[in-house]
Structure 1
Amino acid sequence: MTISITGSDAPPTAPRRSGSQVSLLALGTFAVGTDAFVVAGFLPQMADELGVTEAAAGYSVTVFAICYAVFSPLLATVTATVPRRRLLVAALVVLGLANLGTAVAPNFALLMTSRVLAALGAAAYTPNAGAVASSLVTAERRGRALALVVSGLTVATAIGVPLGNLASRVMGWRSALGLVALLCLLIGAGLAVLLSKLPGGNRVPLAARLSVLRNPGVRLILPVTVLGMAAAYTAYAYAIPAFDAVGISPDAAQWMLFLYGVGAVAGAQSSGRLTDRFGGTRVLVVGYAVMTCTLVAFGTLTLTSAVLPVPVGVLAFAWGASSWCQTPPQQHRLIAAAPNEAPLVIALNSSGIYIGIGVGTLVGGLAGAGDATWMFFSGAVIAVIAAVLLVATGRVARHG
């Protein structure tokens, strides 16, 4: 996610109007988040209809995430001078059409192609939505505006994915993706009508955007983001078969996905405050410890015949919370390591998140989506590696 504060010095619109525009931008990030993760809600049906294994179908998440991470800095460079409203509307149109392509794809190859196009739209939309939101409000309200837009992604894990699972069971997975496409196009139309005209910015060469990687602190901290998200996502794309392996039927899995999402929101919201109080490294150590214990507990349950829906629900909540508590403390550590280049390191951290999601999904599917034991225990091992690397680099970030 490449964030530039384009137009941040432009005079904001009237508070009421700017508030509605920021809310609409947040709906757009909700649509992006739902699109990115909704496959987890109907993976078995999609794999069955396309004639591929569930592990192969899960790689559609890998392709989306890796392409997002790669395209984000490239698109930020290429589209730097494009007016913001035009860019955001175009991004949502691309995302909507890509979802329609996924919904009607007759085979797996075309579905994967459509996921690449969806990643293009998402990579163009999310970073610029945050930058535009910050430019629409006064300086003292920019933090809240940015938080609202970014919260669309975490809320999507709480609501969008379970709703996608429900829609797929009622109407089929293709119709569920069609609804996501419709949402993208409707929000795009709303932005075309309601969003203020904002100019593009100055073109910044890609080499300049990536120059911050010469900072040794940044180079040491970013791999923690990749490993942490990889650990969290070894099983998430395969959530339906994974929950089935611990005694939760596909029909009941939507409630576990909902609890995961509630945990994700709680973890993201609380970790920011805890980071301010205790420092990013301490918060992350606790987060990785919780993640490791949670994934080990899930893996152990797969080796038994016990059906324990309440403990599984608690574990699903902890899984979501430990997965999404990582971003605020990692941003804190990166900004402390490169205080004069905060927008760039936040952007690189976001790319690291999606690389981690892609890697985790790839690792989770290596033994096949039917091997939930592998998915959970491999995630736990990666979480331990992330924690070790975190401790080893803990002194790099000032006040980390």
Structure 2
Amino acid sequence: MALGTFAVGTDAFVVAGFLPEMAGELGVTEATAGYSVTVFAICYAVFSPLLATITATVPRRRLLVAALVVLGLANLGTAFAPNFALLMASRVLAALGAAAYTPNAGAVASSLVSAERRGRALALVVSGLTVATAIGVPLGNLASRFLGWRSALGLVAMLCLLIGAGLAILLPKLAGGNRVPLTERLAVLRNSGVRMILPVTVLGMAAAYTAYAYAIPAFDAAGISPDAAQWMLFLYGAGAVAGAQSSGRLTDKFGGTKVLIVGYAVMTCTLVAFGSLTLADVTLPILVGVLAFTWGASSWCQTPPQQHRLIAAAPDEAPLVIALNSSGIYIGIGVGTFVGGLAGAGNATWMFFSGAVIATIAGVFLAVPEVRRRTGARGEQFP
């Protein structure tokens, strides 16, 4: 299942590695090309709960394999798209495949382990997304430089189809659930704990992605040439893997809220430092490398504790709340990418500082209830 999320993550994030080349060939600005990430993210968010309802009774193995096949075909469509309009249409189809895959993979993983190991199981599945940022995006950047961005997307399509075939062979048979109307599924939003937790996902991912879709021009503004940017993408991805894996274990030990507060503090400091570098006339590649690592770690430390908190708040609705959290992740990515592109892809200072502001808001949103709990004030308590 983690290999499947690796395929999904590579598809979702690989555009960041060749955005300037894709924009140039399709005759659009980099900011406009970046909105292909926004469209993918928003469509994912909309489709996720709908598909959870429509496919509720489908056996899990069949559903996961079909989702990866759709994703692979959509990437072929993107690779052969003759213009930006058709490319955007293929990204909508890709969002369908991704929305059917990721929440179900997380739900299956959480059902296969005991409660005390749930954080680590979720972190393992999420690690596919983080490893995709560590390997998939930099390799996509490298492939686009030697083969072109269309060939890079063709390789992503092959990856999706190969992993789908592997799941068809190796994944055990798993029955689907009961069909539940969408209105009944969304009734979980009446749970005050769920309502307070989901906005954190949106804010946190929005903060992380104000600059990531525009990583190549953003690193360039911090003094890193496009040729060297792939190494910074590797460091970002290494930090993402470290952040996701460590946050799963730390969540099991300390609880999700504390892990998230520290993560948002690190993210705020990292983005402020990046923004400051874009204003200074200096080139500090070692510092940029360190910041790339902490950027990745603070971005991807969020998902395991958020999923853990949601399952604790609504244990009988685990598949649904994970699907809603996935929607929140991609709404956040869409919002962050949109905010980052508002001033144009060349304005890295805006991207980094606006991300820092959003990360601060997310941290405050978490910290206030935690302070109230510690001081004995009445109100909701969240794990």
TM exceeding 0.5: yes
Q: Distance in 2 between matches of 1:189 and 1:284?
A: 36
Q: Which residue of 1 aligns with 2:58?
A: 82
Q: Distance in 1 between matches of 2:67 and 2:21?
A: 28
Kindly state the Cα deviation for residue 279 of structure 1 after the two structures are TM-superposed: 3.1
Question: What secondary structure, in the 3-state scheme, does the structure 1 residue paired with 2:223 have?
Answer: coil
Q: Which residue of 2 aligns with 1:16?
A: none
Q: Distance in 1 between matches of 2:110 and 2:360?
A: 37
The count of corresponding residues between Structure 1 and Structure 2 is 375
Contact 2:256 2:305 in 1 (8 A): yes
1:363 pairs with 2:346? no
1:398 pairs with 2:374? no
The 5-angstrom pairing of residues 379-390 of structure 1 reads: 379-390=355-366
Q: Distance in 1 between matches of 2:312 and 2:3?
A: 31
Q: Which residue of 2 aligns with 1:264?
A: 240
Question: What secondary structure, in the 3-state scheme, does the structure 1 residue paired with 2:351 have?
Answer: helix
Q: Distance in 1 between matches of 2:167 and 2:255?
A: 38
The 5-angstrom pairing of residues 207-222 of structure 1 reads: 207-222=183-198
Q: Which residue of 2 aligns with 1:304?
A: 280
Q: Select 1:70's aligned residue among 46, 56, 59.
A: 46
Q: Select 1:59's aligned residue among 35, 38, 50.
A: 35
Identity %: 86
**Bigger shift: residues 385-394 or 351-360:** 385-394
Q: Distance in 2 between matches of 1:79 and 1:299?
A: 44
Q: Deviations over 1:357-384 (max 9, x none)?
A: 1100010000000000110011011111
Distance 1:342 1:190, change over 3 A: closer
Contact 1:333 1:398 in 2 (8 A): no
Q: Select 2:149's aligned residue among 153, 173, 177.
A: 173
The two structures, once aligned, show a CA RMSD in angstroms of 2.1
Q: Which residue of 1 aligns with 2:163?
A: 187
Q: Distance in 2 between matches of 1:175 and 1:117?
A: 19
Q: Deviations over 1:167-209 (max 9, x none)?
A: 1111010000000001111222333344444443221211122
Q: Distance in 2 between matches of 1:196 and 1:368?
A: 47
Q: Distance in 2 between matches of 1:194 and 1:280?
A: 32
| Aligned amino acid, residue 330 of structure 1 | Q
Contact 2:116 2:252 in 1 (8 A): no
Distance 1:323 1:209, change over 3 A: same
1:345 pairs with 2:328? no
Q: Distance in 2 between matches of 1:227 and 1:130?
A: 21
Distance 1:84 1:222, change over 3 A: closer
Distance 1:342 1:27, change over 3 A: closer
Q: Distance in 2 between matches of 1:239 and 1:397?
A: 38
1:255 pairs with 2:238? no
The 5-angstrom pairing of residues 1-400 of structure 1 reads: 25-132=1-108, 143=118, 147-394=123-370, 395=373, 398=381, 400=383
Question: What secondary structure, in the 3-state scheme, does the structure 1 residue paired with 2:331 have?
Answer: helix
Distance 1:141 1:178, change over 3 A: farther
Kindly state the Cα deviation for residue 210 of structure 1 after the two structures are TM-superposed: 1.1
Q: Deviations over 1:336-395 (max 9, x none)?
A: 433443443333222211110110001000000000011001101111111222223434
Q: Deviations over 1:260-290 (max 9, x none)?
A: 1111111111122323333332222221111
Distance 1:291 1:145, change over 3 A: closer
Q: Distance in 2 between matches of 1:308 and 1:47?
A: 28
| Aligned amino acid, residue 398 of structure 1 | Q
| Aligned amino acid, residue 247 of structure 2 | S
| Aligned amino acid, residue 205 of structure 2 | M
Q: Distance in 1 between matches of 2:109 and 2:310?
A: 23
Contact 1:74 1:206 in 2 (8 A): yes
Gaps of 5+ in 2: 374-378
Gaps of 5+ in 1: 1-24
Kindly state the Cα deviation for residue 87 of structure 1 after the two structures are TM-superposed: 2.1
Distance 1:194 1:265, change over 3 A: closer
Q: Which residue of 2 aligns with 1:18?
A: none
Kindly state the Cα deviation for residue 83 of structure 1 after the two structures are TM-superposed: 2.9
| Aligned amino acid, residue 54 of structure 1 | E
Q: Distance in 2 between matches of 1:63 and 1:369?
A: 17
Q: Deviations over 1:274-310 (max 9, x none)?
A: 2333333222222111111111111111112211100
Q: Distance in 2 between matches of 1:322 and 1:104?
A: 35
**Bigger shift: residues 245-254 or 141-150:** 141-150
Contact 1:30 1:153 in 2 (8 A): yes
Q: Distance in 2 between matches of 1:393 and 1:113?
A: 42
Kindly state the Cα deviation for residue 221 of structure 1 after the two structures are TM-superposed: 2.0
| Aligned amino acid, residue 206 of structure 1 | L
Q: Distance in 2 between matches of 1:369 and 1:399?
A: 38
**Bigger shift: residues 262-271 or 312-321:** 262-271
Distance 1:293 1:397, change over 3 A: same
Contact 2:124 2:245 in 1 (8 A): no
Distance 1:275 1:195, change over 3 A: closer
Contact 1:84 1:198 in 2 (8 A): yes
**Bigger shift: residues 192-201 or 108-117:** 192-201
Q: Which residue of 2 aligns with 1:12?
A: none
Question: What secondary structure, in the 3-state scheme, does the structure 2 residue paired with 1:250 have?
Answer: coil
